Amino acid sequence: MKNVLVQTENVHRFLSGVGELEKRGAREASIMLLIGDPGFGKTECVERWADQEDAVYLCGYPRVTAQMVLGDLVRELGGIPDGRYETRRQQADRLLRSSLNDKGMPRPIILDEAQFYLENKAEALEVIRSLTDRHENSLVLVSMDDIQKQIAKYDQISSRIASVVKMHPANIADVEKLCDGLSEVKISQRLAEEILHHTGGRHRDVVKSIALAETFGKRNRKELVNCVMMSGEVIAYDWRDETPRKVREAMAAREAREMKKQQEECARSAA
């Protein structure tokens, strides 16, 4: 599998949201929400974007405190966190002031699993928010949909939201782009449709299915994999109970007919 960020509709939506953040009128309107159900590709999207933009990536965890998140931030910025809260805050302040990306701009900060930073009256999120206000860092909060209701309780945070982006299930165009962008063997259009059918467009499951198709192709030394070859083979697992889902014989038969028709048309053209 190739290690790339494929330009799906979700990625386009995310990048558009980032663009809105960068064009913000009020300096303090520096927060973007990236929301969606588990498995829709939020974390993969922001991790790859973080690599491209030299963003600071932090991931929340249960019972995280303001002091703990300051320690995480200091470590990500290359420092060694002091044991005292106020000193950690001073360290983070100093490191953020001098930490710029390749464009000479303040580095964006990503808080994944952002719901955990809202525990204990949002103290952990508030300390990061105050630092990003001070140094004009963009702040991307990643979580499920219900974080909007939680954030609405805190005016000092909700009033700074410049854009909200929601991740959606992949469509067939997205799946085809993912097949072309990630797989090291060619995956036919009909097999891409089969992947969409069995995964419901959940990004995480789509990527797993592409890996299964790629493995099948490499194992059988095929440069192209289709439904005819993989008829009856496992192409996905139901995310609810991990039940194997196989390429349907009806789809394999349909693709076989289409291939035969195409061959006949080519033969007539050649004659």
CB 114 within 8 A of CB 140: no
Torsion over CA: 53, 35, 204, 222 (sign): negative
The H or E element containing residue 214 is helix 203-219
Domain membership of residue 4 (yes or no) is no
Provide the pLDDT for residue 24: 65
Domain membership of residue 46 (yes or no) is yes
CB 168 within 8 A of CB 9: yes
**Side-chain half-sphere of 239: how many Cα atoms within 13 Å?**
16
Examine the domain organization and report whether 162 and 176 are in the same domain.
Answer: no
Q: How many structural domains are present in the chain?
A: 2
The residue whose two tokens read 């949909």 is: 145
Examine the domain organization and report whether 53 and 160 are in the same domain.
Answer: yes
More confidently predicted of 160 and 102 = 160
CATH of the domain at 53: 3.40.50.300
- Give the span between the Cα atoms of 18 and 24, in whole angstroms: 10
Domain membership of residue 1 (yes or no) is no
Examine the domain organization and report whether 13 and 126 are in the same domain.
Answer: yes
Q: Across residues 39-65, what is the average pLDDT? A: 92
Q: Helix 66-76 crosses helix 85-98 at what angle (to 10 degrees)?
A: 40
Domain membership of residue 243 (yes or no) is yes
Provide the pLDDT for residue 99: 86
| Span of 22-26, 98-102, 107-111, 169-173 with lowest mean pLDDT | 22-26
Examine the domain organization and report whether 98 and 191 are in the same domain.
Answer: no
Check whether 26 has a pLDDT greater than 60.
no
% of the chain beyond a pLDDT of 70: 97
Examine the domain organization and report whether 118 and 100 are in the same domain.
Answer: yes
Whole-prediction pTM value?
Answer: 0.87
Q: Across residues 92-103, what is the average pLDDT? A: 87
- Give the span between the Cα atoms of 215 and 210, in whole angstroms: 9
**Domain region containing 140:** 9-166
Provide the pLDDT for residue 236: 95
Check whether 86 has a pLDDT greater than 60.
yes
Examine the domain organization and report whether 145 and 179 are in the same domain.
Answer: no
Examine the domain organization and report whether 153 and 187 are in the same domain.
Answer: no
Q: Which of 166, 197, 212 is the last residue of a domain?
A: 166
Distances (CA, A) of 58 to 35, 41, 106, 137: 16, 17, 16, 14
Examine the domain organization and report whether 29 and 136 are in the same domain.
Answer: yes
Domain membership of residue 195 (yes or no) is yes
Q: Across residues 12-33, what is the average pLDDT? A: 81
Which residues are CB-contacts of 51 (< 8 A; sequence separation ≥ 6)? none
Provide the pLDDT for residue 25: 52
**Side-chain half-sphere of 105: how many Cα atoms within 13 Å?**
12
Examine the domain organization and report whether 105 and 54 are in the same domain.
Answer: yes
Beta-sheet strands, E only, within the chain: 31-35, 56-59, 109-112, 139-143, 161-166, 186-187, 224-225, 234-237, 244-246
Examine the domain organization and report whether 151 and 35 are in the same domain.
Answer: yes
